[in-house]
Amino acid sequence: MRIRAASDVSWFHRDESIFIDFSNQGILFELDVRSRQPIYEQLVEKMKEMIIREIWKPHEQLPSVRMLAKQLTINPNTIQKAYRELEHQGFIYSIPGKGNFVSPQPKAASQEKIEAIRHDIVRLAAEALFLGVAKEEVLQWIEQAEQGERGGETDDSLDERNENI
């Protein structure tokens, strides 16, 4: 198990955004403080993506609540809420007095979770088609997600391509 040191991560603010730079891993993600989406939800999404793409490996320790709150200059309760949500969703586990760690990948996903994802994909695909996106392009997005899951693309490159939606 590798413990993440505070020096592995750098944080900086620009305008109304907070950038989190895991430069030793080639990762940069942004939290938009002006977004209608709460900061904790943005953290959950970005951290889930890093876990799914195996940027953070199973049993790897996450940055501490205090360190993250101090570096991001946001309330520690916001970080704790994001961590609780990630734990509830099964992406991380906590060890009292030790910290939060990435959960190993489940052997089999629950049928309920798979059905919820299927429902979301169908809804989003229907919306994209309604907006005039070609079926082939929607299928390309799925292929991009598959490549990204295997470490092929970063979140930022996917976001740039999908800004037109």
Query: What pLDDT is stored for residue 135 in this prediction?
Result: 92
Distance CA 9, CA 7 (A): 5
CATH for 24: 1.10.10.10
Q: What is the pLDDT of residue 15?
A: 54
| pLDDT < 50 positions in the chain | 1-9, 12, 23-27, 152-165
32-to-47, 48, 62, 108 alpha-carbon distances in Å? 15, 17, 21, 34
Please report the pLDDT score of residue 91 as a whole number.
Answer: 92
**Phi then psi for 109, rounded to 5 degrees?**
-70, 150
Predicted confidence at residue 19, as pLDDT, reads: 56
Task: State the residue range of the domain holding 34.
Answer: 6-102
Question: Of 62, 79, 102, which residue constitutes the final position of a domain?
Answer: 102
Q: What pLDDT, on a 0 to 100 scale, did the predictor assign at position 164? A: 42
- What's the pLDDT score for residue 156? 47
Structure-token pair, residue 99: 């910290």
Query: Same structural domain for residues 18 and 78?
Result: yes
pTM of the model: 0.61
pLDDT of 99 reads 94
Query: What per-residue confidence (pLDDT) applies to 159?
Result: 46
Q: Distance (Å, rounded) from C-alpha 86 to C-alpha 106?
A: 14
Which of 81, 102, 123 is the endpoint of a domain? 102
- The whole-angstrom separation of Cα 99 and Cα 157 is 31
41 CB-contact burial (10 Å; exposed 0-12 / middle 13-18 / buried 19+): middle
Residues 24 and 96 in one domain: yes
Q: How far is CA 159 from CA 1, 64, 165, in A?
A: 31, 28, 10
90: tokens are: 């099964």
Residue 68 within any structural domain of the chain: yes
pLDDT of residue 76: 95
Is 90 among the domain residues? yes
Q: Domain tally for the chain? A: 2
Q: Which pLDDT belongs to residue 50?
A: 85
Same domain for 93 and 146:
no
Ramachandran assignment for 132, one of left (phi > 0), alpha (psi -120 to 50 degrees), beta (any other) = left
Q: Same domain, yes or no, for 41 and 71? A: yes
